[in-house]
Amino acid sequence: MTLATRRLGPFDVAPIGLGCMNLSHAYGVPPAPEEAAGVLLRALELGVTHFDTAALYGFGANEELVGRVLAPHRHRFTLASKCGMTGVDGRRVIDGRPATLKATCEAALRRLRTDVIDLYYLHRWDKAVPIEESVGALADLVREGKIRAIGLSEVSASTLRRAHAVHPIAALQTEYSLWTRNPEIAVLEACRELDVAFVAFSPLARGFLPGTLRDVSGFDAKDIRRAMPRFAPANYAANLQRLEPLRAVAEEAGCTLAQLALAWLLHRGDHILPIPGTTSVAHLEENLGAAAVTLTPAQRARLEAAIHQGNVAGARYNGATQTEIDTEEFSA
């Protein structure tokens, strides 16, 4: 394993990026602004060149944070954000109509304090709007110089191909980790065929894979994991048992469980770019160390046998959320 850069559409970036969501959204009370700023600046200092945010995160607050802290260093990194899922009157709304996407982009440019967003994703495909229309609107933004490249999030291989026929897609983003292997059904190979970067969000399984989250009974009321079946107490207790075989491999490889999980992803393909998120500088530094971890084929096989779609307890999303995404699912 080397520290060489990887391709993210037209950009060369460090192999591990930073998902910025945790700093404003999803896992309970976010850190204080100065602490969040410290994480962003330390990431930049350590060589992170791929920062990923979205209009949804904190209902604009995360883009504002990233803009305020990183705008003075804009030339040093690739900036990714997302549209198509935003906060409206305090509620999360999926809206892929062209006019909405363009308005969201204008607001994002102001919050991010930039003239152009390098990579702009359709955060969710609004199934009431043909994917061709939503991508067509993003193509207009490319022509207008407001975004440089187009991405998609949580879509299937077939939807990717439909979108790619309208305008080249630079990146596809979906959850991928040892305990969420859905991209292996079709999307990973489609990305390889079409020369699309695959960005893996939640590569540490929302805190599960590092092995430090033992008790899930005390989640904050606004923590999105409260509604995720895998984090229900009985399921989670069963899932914790899946970590035990991973500890032996981590010891052999001379790394932590978090580094092991990220290194496994990096070994899965040169077109895969994980974006772990964190509110901790110590965890940030730990995560980035994964780029120097080498795993043998035998070690990787042991990891894949220890935890996979056949032995994880609980679905990735609850029923309501599942209807909002377009990713392939394993047969029951």
pLDDT (mean) for 71-75: 98
Is there a domain that residue 267 lies in?
Answer: yes
Q: Tell me the C-alpha distance between 171 and 9, whole Å.
A: 6
Is there a domain that residue 147 lies in?
Answer: yes
Catalytic hit among 57, 120, 121, 236: 57
Q: Tell me the C-alpha distance between 245 and 288, whole Å.
A: 23
Task: Find how far residue 278's CA is from the centre of its chain.
Answer: 12
Q: What is the pLDDT of residue 331?
A: 85
Is there a domain that residue 212 lies in?
Answer: no
pLDDT (mean) for 271-290: 98
Based on the structure, what is the number of domains in the chain? Answer: 1
What's the chain's Rg over C-alpha atoms?
A: 19
| Residue 1 scores a pLDDT above 70 | no
Encode pLDDT of 151-205 as tens digits. Answer: 999 999 999 999 999 999 999 999 999 999 999 999 999 999 999 999 999 999 9
CB-neighbour burial class of residue 76 (10 A; exposed 0-12, middle 13-18, buried 19+): exposed
* Confidence class for position 119, pLDDT limits 50, 70, 90: very high
* 121 annotated active-site: no
Which CATH number covers residue 170?
3.20.20.100
Is there a domain that residue 308 lies in?
Answer: no
Is there a domain that residue 169 lies in?
Answer: yes
Q: What is the pLDDT of residue 173?
A: 98
| Residue 128 scores a pLDDT above 50 | yes
Phi-psi region at 147: left, alpha or beta (left = phi > 0; alpha = psi -120 to 50): beta
Is there a domain that residue 26 lies in?
Answer: yes
* Confidence class for position 71, pLDDT limits 50, 70, 90: very high
Domain that holds residue 94: 6-207+258-293
21-to-50, 52, 148 alpha-carbon distances in Å = 13, 8, 22
Q: What is the pLDDT of residue 49?
A: 98
* Confidence class for position 4, pLDDT limits 50, 70, 90: confident
pLDDT (mean) for 209-226: 95
Q: Tell me the C-alpha distance between 57 and 61, whole Å.
A: 7
Is there a domain that residue 322 lies in?
Answer: no
Encode pLDDT of 137-147 as tens digits. Answer: 999 999 999 99
Is there a domain that residue 235 lies in?
Answer: no
Q: What is the pLDDT of residue 146?
A: 98
194 sits in which H/E element: helix 187-194
Q: Which residue matches tokens 């409206």?
A: 88
Encode pLDDT of 244-277 as tens digits. Answer: 999 999 999 999 999 999 999 999 999 999 999 9
Structure tokens at 72: 């003075």
Q: What's the chain's average pLDDT? A: 97
Q: What is the pLDDT of residue 138?
A: 98
Contact by Cβ (8 Å): 255, 263: yes
Q: Tell me the C-alpha distance between 151 and 138, whole Å.
A: 9
Q: What is the pLDDT of residue 2?
A: 41
Give the rounded percent of residues in the chain with a pLDDT score beyond 90: 98
Q: What is the pLDDT of residue 215?
A: 95
